[in-house]
Structure 1
Amino acid sequence: MKIAAVQLTSTADTATNLALASERIREAAAQGAQLIVLPEATSQNFGSGRLDGQAQELDGDFATTLQALAKELGVTVVVGMFRPADTVEREGKKINRVFNTALIVGPDVRRGYDKIHTYDAFNYRESDTVVPGTQLVTFSVGDLTVGVSTCYDIRFPEQFKALARSGADIVVVPTSWADGAGKLEQWRLLTAARALDSTSYIVAAGQARPGGSAEAGKESGPTGIGHSVIVAPDGKRLVEAGYEEEIIYAEVDGDTVREIRKAIPVLKN
């Protein structure tokens, strides 16, 4: 099966981002991709203001439009968005929190995975405005099972092993990874390590680096470092993007997963 990881730069406006995502999905489908993964925060980029103003449920325009497109093209799409969650009061202020959701749409599916591990690290507190999810999610594309995680989840190997034990051959990772000192090295290590931990394909689609390679290595906040990657179950990077917007592709198959799990039975051991 051919899979695609779409690396783009989303904006502050959901309608603009929906049009961009639709264009990239059409491009990937035209190249034969059956599973197409887009970044975290595709519906609204981080650093552009409050997330609750454009948050939508799964029956909103963002999700239903993308499902209609997936049905038209005969593909399955995973893409980052935000959904309304709850309202809390903090220091006399009411905060409308959201779920950081990976939307899954296909001809016969529209559901979401809510990011379990909120990014409370490096002086950033995602949990102030985002409610963590509690449920693992898998779905099927053809004869392959796909697990879902999001960005900071990649630092937690237990989640990836649990998805693999639930049958996942592939784990997709919509991402908006921060740039800065050591961050690219960490990203490369973590994506390879999670493939090895779970003996699964890792398909990580990230936000492109704002400003491109000219800004590489500078502190960015959680707005993207690029370097989307598809990793084989043995930890080999099959294809990796750079800092700019692009789409990367790879062929995956269940036989490879089964062969590697037989040779390296870490999930059983």
Structure 2
Amino acid sequence: MDKVRHVVQEAAEEGAELVVFPEATMQGFGTGRLDSQAEPLDGEFVTALRELAEGYNLALVAGVFTPADTVERDGKTINRITNTLVACLPDGSLFTYDKIHTYDAFGFAESDTVAAGKELSTFLYKGVRFGLATCYDVRFPQQFRALARRGAQAILLPASWATGKGKLEQWRLLTRARALDSTSVIVAVGQALPLDERTAAAPSGIGHSGVLAPDGTTIAELGEQATLAVYDVDLEEQVAKMRTSLPVLDYPENYL
């Protein structure tokens, strides 16, 4: 939370109106049991985020963990959590998104400890409709197209993208593709490359946060380490023009 406060203060001083943090802002993967740290939405962590948004008069999006359910896995009782994004607006409003596509891939089963969400989520801020998605969701283009059809001009994508062979290339390719096939601005905010060896094997992060234009081109890309960058994006101009010239959202989703 001290890191979050510092970044929000600095961003506000630079004139930011929306600050987006990565997935797992509350507690990085590989740093201990998530169920022991998870809190309800009226808990201390989210309350502090809401106070920052109101105090600095900006919107704030961050990844947290909230309690979900209890399941049996291989004879063990597991208290699952939800991988949740919270969008805190300066007027006190709170919007949430529970990650729909759990990371059950490459030999890892996130669904063992994380309950999947079921609903898409958007919110309106300063006349702009924003959509929310998390990390592994980026491999599912239909989610991004559905958010765009619900009016999202920009889709915020906090992530903890795992390291590995080809993963940076996949991250860049997938974020650009989701921008193009949803004709939306994508703000992809990844956890920085971990400096602690204990978290190096966890699905923690490779950095390379980016802002992608609705034509799939890169507006900005950061490096591996934690960085604050402030960008102005003309959503109305870029998105409206692209959706007029390339009306892919007008076609039916189901061709069968």
- TM-score tier, shorter chain, comes to over 0.9
Structure 1: gaps (5+ residues)? 1-17
SS of the residue 2:15 aligns to: coil
Of the candidates 26, 36, 61, which is equivalent to residue 19 of structure 2? 36
Residue 245 of structure 2: aligned partner: 263
1:162 to 138, 141, 146: 146
Q: What letter is aligned with 1:86?
A: D
Whether contact under 8 Å (1:58, 1:111) holds in the other structure is: no
User: How many Å separate the matches in 1 of 2:102 and 2:155?
Assistant: 18
Aligned equivalent of 2:75: 92
Question: Which residue in the other structure is 1:153 paired with?
Answer: 137
| 1:250 Cα offset (Å) | 2.0
- Higher alpha-carbon deviation: 127-136 or 91-100: 91-100
Shift of 1:30: 1.3
Residues 10-39 of structure 1: per-residue CA shift (max 9 Å, x gap): xxxxxxxx1111111111121111111100
Please name the residue that 1:245 is paired with. Answer: 226
Structure 1 residues 201-216: aligned runs within 5 Å: 201-211=185-195
Identical pairs, percent: 53
Amino acid at match of 1:38: F
How much has 1:220 moved relative to structure 2? 3.9
Shift of 1:211: 2.8
Q: Deviations over 1:90-122 (max 9, x none)?
A: 233210000000011012311310000000011
Residue 69, structure 1, aligned to residue 52, structure 2: yes
For 2:34, which of 26, 51, 63 is the aligned residue? 51
Q: TM-score, normalised by structure 2?
A: 0.93
Q: Does structure 1 retain, via aligned residues, the 8 Å contact 2:181–2:248? A: yes
Q: Which amino acid in structure 2 is aligned with residue 229 of structure 1?
A: G
TM-score of the two chains, using structure 1 as the length reference: 0.89
Q: Within 2, Cα distance between the matches of 1:118 and 1:223?
A: 15
**What does 1:131-150 align with in structure 2 at a 5 Å threshold?**
131-150=115-134
Contact residue 239 and residue 249 of structure 1 kept, 8 A: no
Counterpart in the other structure of 2:254:
none
Question: How many residue pairs get matched?
Answer: 247
Aligned equivalent of 1:112: 96
Q: Distance in 2 between matches of 1:189 and 1:20?
A: 30
AA at the equivalent of 2:208: H
Deviates more, 1:162-171 or 1:233-242: 233-242
- Please tell me whether the aligned partners of residues 73 and 112 of structure 2 are also in contact (alpha carbons under 8 angstroms): no
Moved over 4 A (4+): none
In the alignment, the residues of structure 2 paired with residue 117 and residue 22 of structure 1 have an alpha-carbon distance, to the nearest angstrom, of: 29
Residues 120 and 126, structure 1, Cα contact 8 Å, conserved in 2 = yes
Quick one: which of 204, 218, 222 aligns to 1:223?
204
